[in-house]
Amino acid sequence: MDQNEHIIVWNNCLRIISQIVDPQKFETWFKPLKPVSFKDSTITIEVPSDFFRQYLEEAYLDVLKKTLKRVIGANARLIYKVSAVRRQPAMEFPAAAATTPVNNPVSVSTYPTEGNPGPFVFPGLKRVQINPRLNKDYCFENLVEGDCNRMGINAGVTISDNPGGTPFNPLLLFGGPGLGKTHLAQAIGISIKEKHPEKVVLYVTGNEFKTQYMDAVNVRNKLTDFLAFYMKIDVLIVDDIQDLVGTGSQNAFFNVFNHLHENGRQLIFTSDRPPVQLQNFEERLLSRLKWGLSVELQKPSYQTRLEALRQRAFREGVKVDDEVLSYLAQRIRSNFRELEGTLISIIAHATLSHKEITVSLAEKVTDKIVGEQKTNLSIDKVQETVCQYFGISRQDLTSKSRRRNIVQARQIAMYMSRNLINCPLSIIGSEIGGKDHATVLHACNTVSDLIATDRVFRQYVDDIERMLVANTG
* Cβ count within 10 A of residue 257: 23
Distance (Å, whole) CA 171 – CA 227: 22
Q: What is the pLDDT of residue 372?
A: 47
Residue ranges of the chain with per-residue pLDDT less than 50: 86-87, 115, 117-122, 372-374, 473
**Which of 207, 228, 209, 226 lies closest to 217, judged by CA?**
226
Fold classification of 125-296 is: Rossmann fold (3.40.50)
Handedness of CA 382, 342, 372, 143 (dihedral sign): negative
Supply the pLDDT for residue 146.
Answer: 87
The tens digit of pLDDT for each residue in 198-226 reads 999 999 999 999 988 988 887 766 888 88
Q: What is the pLDDT of residue 473?
A: 47
* CB neighbour burial string for 172-181, b if at least 16 within 10 angstroms, e if fewer: bbbbeebbbb
Q: Tell me, what's the pLDDT at 316?
A: 82
Q: What is the pLDDT of residue 118?
A: 47
What is the number of helices (H) and of strands (E) in the chain?
19, 11
Partners of 173 in beta bridges = 270, 295
CATH class of 379-470: mainly alpha
Q: What is the largest CA-CA distance in the chain?
A: 85
Residue 170: is the preceding peptide bond cis (ω within 30°)? yes
Of 372, 363, 383, nearest to 423 by C-alpha is: 383
Please report the pLDDT score of residue 2 as a whole number: 65
Q: Where are the domains of the chain?
A: 5-94, 125-296, 302-369, 379-470
Distance CA 298, CA 452 (A): 8
DSSP strand E in 71-149: where? 77-82, 91-94, 106-110, 124-128
Which pLDDT score, from 0 to 100, does residue 121 have?
44
**Torsion (CA) 156, 160, 166, 168 in degrees, nearest 10:** 30
302-369 has which CATH code?
1.10.8.60
Say yes or no: domain 5-94 is CATH 3.30.300.180: yes
Q: So what's the pLDDT on residue 54?
A: 82
